Amino acid sequence: MFVTSLIVGFSGALMPGPLVTATIAGSAREGFWVGPALTLGHAIAEAAIVLALAFGLGKLFRNRWMAGAIGFLGGLFLLWMGYDIAQSVWTGSVTLALTPTGSASHSAWGPVVTGILVSIANPYWILWWATVGANYVLLGLKQGSLGLGAVYAGHILSDASWLILVAFVVASGRAFLNDTIYQGILLLCSLFLVALSLYFIRSGANFLRGKVVVNSQ
């Protein structure tokens, strides 16, 4: 269970998405430590959803109204994130210094909370766990709590390995960047988050209209 969960987890972790984008932007702004902090937040969110599925709440997550609401609210959250990054670039409040200036400063718990919110803001993350992930949880439960733990550990290890690697590469590359390139990277992250937010909002509307059917298998 651990190995298969690890492999399947890598297939999703390697795809670009809001969490990877947040890792790139955060590590560029504040350094390597943001990667592990975001990973911790993501791990908390995944632990919560695994436990929810273990207690039989998968049907709730497959409800189209729930998926639609997550799409709308998640899209708005990512839109705000994209705007916040773009505003920091526009006002010049971020530099290559490890500690950003002005409103860009965050508490140590900021990235952890962001990791949680970015995770649950993604309707497709919820739906993946409500369908594919739910099957893994059921298989794990057949082997008891150890089986469930193996499913979770394999999946989160794949996410953590990739996110921490991305954070390390970005933070290490800071020495080879100037402010123009650095702010350009942040701006690209901002644009990607805005585009993704619009996609999530549109997906939420499609879920609510019944144009997208959530497969319970």
Tell me if 161 is assigned to some domain. Answer: yes
Q: Is residue 215 part of a domain?
A: no
Q: For 47-83, what is each residue's pLDDT tens digit?
A: 999 999 888 876 776 678 877 888 888 889 889 988 9
| pLDDT tens by residue, 99-145 | 444 334 455 578 999 999 999 988 888 888 887 788 788 888 888 88
CB of 116 closer than 8 Å to CB of 44? yes
Which residue range(s) make up the domain with 177?
Answer: 2-97+107-209
Could you tell me the pLDDT band of residue 215, with boundaries at 50, 70 and 90? low
Contacts of 206 (CB under 8 A, 6+ apart): 68, 212
Identify the CA nearest to 112 among candidates 39, 187, 210. Answer: 39
Evaluate if pTM is beyond 0.75.
Answer: yes
Distance from the Cα of residue 21 to its chain's centroid: 8
Answer whether residue 111 is part of any domain. Answer: yes
CA distance 55 to 89: 44
Report the run of H or E that residue 131 belongs to, with start and end.
Answer: none
Report if residue 144 sits inside a domain: yes
Domain count, the chain: 1
